[in-house]
Structure 1
Amino acid sequence: MITLITFAPAFGQISASPFCVKAAWMLNMSGLQWQREDSMDPRKMPKQKLPVIRVGQTLVQDSDNIRAYLEQQGADFDAGLNDMEKATSRAFIRMAEEHLYFHCVLQRWGEDTVWPTIRDTYFTAIPSVLRGFVTNKLRRACLQGMDRQGLGRLTPQERMQRIEPDLQAITTRLWHGRFLFGGQPTAADASVAPMLAGMRATPGTTLLKTRIAEDEILCRYIDRTEDALSVPRTTAASVSLCA
């Protein structure tokens, strides 16, 4: 049995992390049986990140490595795609995970009106009397990293100008079908849709959340993908299941 170690559900999503959502969706797409184990402390993992899958005594870390493992077990996340479509899919995945994701991070960690809810959702294990002190240090470190990455140096309005061409590219792909590459979800959908869903689900009101929530094409795409991929393939009494 494969066990997905993941952040707990939050904000109406099956996990607080888009990468954990991606891993759960790929597990469902693979057709393999699996169960989930929620954790709010990634420090217990060798790379101190989630998602991770556990197979026997082996830990497979990072959603890309999880995909590779599932493909070794026979999963085909790009069935029916030609070489050109597979190349474009790879570019969309990288756009989602190396650009869209950081906009989501800044929306959650950088917006003063959003941060208190994020703090109290992500760090419930820290006693409330210590939570502000501990998490303020974590927040500063995160935002310093975003400053080095570059997006953290932009105003919210400038970030919206930066992300808009990406959102337009996604919309353009959706002219060709219900999903990014036709009538069935592929690997690109498992990466792109969780990022958009995470932006839309972020608590409070931000420019980015409003942009996604008011876009009918993107919202319908998020909902279709969630409906198609958030289907559990196994049950287990001792763990919570994907929604």
Structure 2
Amino acid sequence: MITLVTFAPSFGQPAASPFCVKAIWLLNMSGQPWQREDIADPRSVPRQKLPALRAGDDIIPDSDNIRHYLEQQGADFDRGLSELDKATSRAFIRMAEEHMYFHVVLDRWGDDSVWPTIRDTYFGMIPRLLRGIVTRKLRKTCLDGMHAQGLGRLSPQERLARIEPDLQAITTRLWHGRFLFGDQPTAADASVAAMLANMIATPGQTLLKTRISEDAVLRHYVERSSDAMGKPSNAASAKLCA
């Protein structure tokens, strides 16, 4: 059976990282029986990042590569989509993973009121006396990277204005159905809804969390997505019970 190596559940989400949530949802939709292995330190896996999928002797890092592997095994996450819709889906995935994600990072690592909870949740395995010393350097490295990327130079109000067109684009797509491309979830939902879910789950009360939590369209979309993709498909459940 394939094994997803992932961060443990946190803040009401099945994993601390939206990319791990995405991988969990893709696995559930794939029909493959699978199991999870929670670890806190990803340095033992390729690229030293999670999620990673263990399939036999192979370890497949990165949620995009996991999607590709599952598709090679027969999964069709974009069943019924036109070529135009598939192109739009790719753009939504990149919007979520290459822009929206960094807003999650800054809400969690950059907000002084949120950071202590993040530190003690993400790095609870480090003895308390050492935790502050170790994580202070990690946080500085992360925020230096966000400053270089650009979003770290913006105020929370400016960041909210920057992400607003993304949120409006998601809302516009949802005019067409329960999910981004109709009444069944696709690969785009596994990325976009996982990102929104992590924004809502961030501890404290950041501007971004409030914006999404108070938007009924986005909040209900996250709830539908979690209900639809948060459990194994019937095929996988049958295999697990066999």
* Shared fold, TM over 0.5: yes
Aligned to 2:170: 170
CA distances 1:160-184 after superposition (whole Å, capped 9, x unpaired): 1100000000000000000000000
Secondary structure in structure 1 of the residue aligned to 2:176: coil
In structure 2, distance between residues paired with 1:229 and 1:2:
18
In structure 1, distance between residues paired with 2:30 and 2:145:
34
How far is the alpha carbon of 1:57 from its aligned partner?
1.1
In structure 1, distance between residues paired with 2:21 and 2:127:
27
In structure 1, distance between residues paired with 2:70 and 2:209:
32
TM-score, normalising length from structure 1?
A: 0.96
TM-score, normalising length from structure 2?
A: 0.96
5+ residue gaps, structure 1, are 237-243
Aligned to 2:145: 145
Aligned to 1:23: 23
Q: How does 1:163-242 map to 2 (within 5 A)?
A: 163-232=163-232, 233=236
In structure 2, distance between residues paired with 1:15 and 1:230:
12
Query: Which is worse superposed, 211-220 or 224-233?
Result: 224-233
In structure 2, distance between residues paired with 1:6 and 1:113:
26
In structure 2, distance between residues paired with 1:222 and 1:202:
14
Amino acid at match of 1:231: K
In structure 2, distance between residues paired with 1:124 and 1:45:
20
Secondary structure in structure 2 of the residue aligned to 1:60: strand
Amino acid at match of 1:47: R
In structure 2, distance between residues paired with 1:200 and 1:154:
20
In structure 2, distance between residues paired with 1:30 and 1:109:
33
**Identity in percent:** 72
Aligned to 1:78: 78
Q: How does 1:8-87 map to 2 (within 5 A)?
A: 8-87=8-87
Aligned to 1:124: 124
In structure 2, distance between residues paired with 1:201 and 1:124:
18
